[in-house]
Structure 1
């Protein structure tokens, strides 16, 4: 290869870097001024580095088969900043690919057609209203990740405002709480700055003033005393999982609704966002966001059942160990869970298979399930062994799931990867409920085995925030319109 051609490769890279650098303030303007959230096939472009933006463009080639560079997307972004857009989530990748394939050259005319619902609607069709107060009751793994996501989204004028966290203790632990939010062994450092207001018992994270309330029981708290009103309490403790226990939150002044980040018991509605969230009645005040595993498998199961039908199946979960297990062998009320989590694979039970029926009643009594806890700190896998009603083959099932992941209303829930080299750590921070591993798919006539990765911490927390937005009537348009 000639030196001239080698130099051209490097010059092209530098040109793309420069264009990505120009793109960052434009993306920031869309996000902070107009509350427009741009992404590339589900990969966020907000608060991303130049290299991450370039990598997200490269991802499009892998999933869509079409080269997409910043030279394709930059004109669209620049034009979007001039259209006075109303709040929305916009998949810039899908827009750019469609525009590229259309053969058209008038970017403004194209965007005015595709985004007609929101063009010129910033003032008239803004989200309006006051931010919704959110309280995190419990500040463990899920609580801290939820805090990170809510703080991140607050930068775009999202109408969810994290006002307080509730923890046990005496009140002398603010520095430790701040440190745990600031540094995370799995998800890395917090994206921004955190300071501590010791005198007023609060954390200040990227300008968000978050009251830290110490209490041993929900009934001890009067949220209105801290200026918190009509709040949704997100219970991350798992201590109460039925309506009676969670109703304690509703007895507190300043609370209107409760969202549980665990499978609910009894008649409590278990909701997987993207599947049955529209079943929530306006009068329902306590909702469960189900489990991380249920959120991961239900969208894929729905997609398969809609197209091929499911006679019956078995779900085997290979799950990272969690905080309810022991670091070393010790007493535990659960079978086998007392054995050292970092040293053993631990066979245990999961209620995820039965919980599927609460979100997808058509699969009631059709699934069994088990779980194996393994010595990794995060990212799990569900193996779906299914007997189908219609015959199929591996290629057709993969192609169908790829289309669902890219173009269906479940594109926020289902991700798709087609690489022979991916391992669990590659999915840390993935915002989808589950990721189909196409290289592992096995289909023979009516027998199908699907492998679904999921970040059981971050991906699940993103689903919780989506549900939290829905419960708060924070509804965004998703453009371009996804088609079934």
Structure 2
């Protein structure tokens, strides 16, 4: 048998194992609200090839691919346990088991590692939490996709309605088509039908009522059977407490803004300050995509090295508020054609750092350039550190942060030498450290941070909503503090 034959046989065997994983992962998700992860990447609703590619990502840990034959025993062990709602990382189980010296079997080790999700420790599944989307633009539709994807057993977040202004003939059909197909993010994963008579979009079995209103005061959500809901405002029209309070109508319990909040509205970056949200807080903001991209790595660097001061330059994809061709715009430069020009503009991300990281004493400044790409941006974070470091030291530290720290859902890491912006479309992390571009000299470090300013940010929004709604389930094994 040739080397090629050996490689092909090995591939077919791994395909077979990955195929066997899919029904186990699906059943755990539907019946127990257990999300199976592999190094913080969800394996729910993934194809055979996607599962194998995600295993290959583990090369960043030990320099070699993690095989499905190594993780499958842990997945099977999970099926024997009385699990409650949780997120369980079989990649971390496999890695920690290798380093364990207790002499336990896979089954014994797994039971010990996820004990917090079993027996008397497990979280009981609730009735779910209603969610309403106010506005259905770029972020609104991506948040909708994520909510539908994460519906699971129906006991978590439930997208019940979207509120939009009437758009004329076949409005609901056109909105459903925009949810079904996206020029950047591709096809919706599932089926979508429209019930025009009842003003409802049905996506993967989720009935989503389309409510037409020109003002928040026009809607009584209880008339649609909606109660105790979290409303996600994707319009950005209201950004202070007074404006966002208009949404606190019958049926709405909390309001989450997908733009930087003003005044005393808390700006929350999941992974950094989400645990500061008070239980009785009814209005909060998820800050901006750029704030979410820079704050987690900024916190990580400050924790380890100390940050004395910094500057962030964002090279940002153009957005819907810019003009396709030169035309009037209330902002001078944004009136020039977005697909044809680099456009200097402002960013509030640097000033927003203080809200998310109040203990950071360093002064952070910022500026931005909009460029002719439709999605994915890069933040260049130039930091003066409190102590000197080497490039190799910082690389190792950030790689470890991305894999094992509490920020591993926010910070990703890539070492591919030919990485470009389109490679990060669909990334679920707030930002991705580009190892090849990192520069460190003495007490100066320059981090290049890619981020999908649409999808990655939407994932951060969902994490905040899960947290404040009580359906953000614990992860096992727990990340290192």
Answer whether TM exceeds 0.5 for this pair. Answer: yes
C-alpha distance in structure 2 between counterparts of 1:376 and 1:153, whole Å: 29
Match of 1:15 in 2: 13
The structural deviation recorded for 1:236 is: 0.2
Deviating 4+ runs (over 6 angstroms): none
Aligned ranges for residues 157-236 of structure 1 at < 5 Å?
157-169=154-166, 172-236=170-234
- Is the 2:463–2:472 contact (alpha carbons within 8 Å) kept by the matching residues of 1? no
C-alpha distance in structure 2 between counterparts of 1:454 and 1:326, whole Å: 23
Match of 2:439 in 1: 442
Deviations 1:238-283 (A, max 9, x none): 0111111111101x21111100000001111111111111111122
Match of 2:270 in 1: 273
Matched pairs, number: 479
Deviations 1:412-440 (A, max 9, x none): 11111111011111111111111111111
Match of 1:382 in 2: 379
- Is the 2:74–2:106 contact (alpha carbons within 8 Å) kept by the matching residues of 1? yes
Residue from 470, 474, 479 that aligns with 1:473? 470
Aligned ranges for residues 390-401 of structure 1 at < 5 Å?
390-401=387-398
SS at match of 1:147: helix
The structural deviation recorded for 1:65 is: 2.2
Match of 2:112 in 1: 113
SS at match of 1:337: helix
Please, which moves more after superposition, 58-67 or 470-479? 58-67
Match of 2:330 in 1: 333
SS at match of 2:209: strand
The structural deviation recorded for 1:101 is: 4.0
Aligned ranges for residues 365-444 of structure 1 at < 5 Å?
366-444=363-441
SS at match of 2:150: helix
Aligned ranges for residues 23-422 of structure 1 at < 5 Å?
23-102=21-100, 104=103, 106-120=105-119, 125-169=122-166, 172-250=170-248, 252-363=249-360, 366-422=363-419
User: Residues 120 and 365 (structure 1 numbering): CA distance in 2 closer, same or farther, change over 3 Å?
Assistant: closer
C-alpha distance in structure 2 between counterparts of 1:70 and 1:46, whole Å: 15
- Is the 2:139–2:458 contact (alpha carbons within 8 Å) kept by the matching residues of 1? yes
C-alpha distance in structure 1 between counterparts of 2:417 and 2:155, whole Å: 38
| Structure 2 unmatched ranges of 5 or more | none
C-alpha distance in structure 1 between counterparts of 2:166 and 2:124, whole Å: 38
The structural deviation recorded for 1:365 is: 6.2
The structural deviation recorded for 1:156 is: 4.2
- Is the 1:127–1:474 contact (alpha carbons within 8 Å) kept by the matching residues of 2? no
| Structure 1 unmatched ranges of 5 or more | none
SS at match of 2:333: coil
Q: Calculate the TM-score normalised by the size of structure 2.
A: 0.97
Q: Calculate the TM-score normalised by the size of structure 1.
A: 0.96
The structural deviation recorded for 1:475 is: 3.1
The structural deviation recorded for 1:362 is: 2.8
SS at match of 1:377: coil
Deviations 1:121-163 (A, max 9, x none): 6xx7344322111100000000000000000000244511100
C-alpha distance in structure 2 between counterparts of 1:97 and 1:125, whole Å: 24
C-alpha distance in structure 2 between counterparts of 1:76 and 1:138, whole Å: 42
- Is the 2:317–2:375 contact (alpha carbons within 8 Å) kept by the matching residues of 1? yes
C-alpha distance in structure 2 between counterparts of 1:311 and 1:101, whole Å: 37
C-alpha distance in structure 1 between counterparts of 2:284 and 2:308, whole Å: 30
- Is the 1:249–1:258 contact (alpha carbons within 8 Å) kept by the matching residues of 2? yes
- Is the 1:432–1:462 contact (alpha carbons within 8 Å) kept by the matching residues of 2? yes
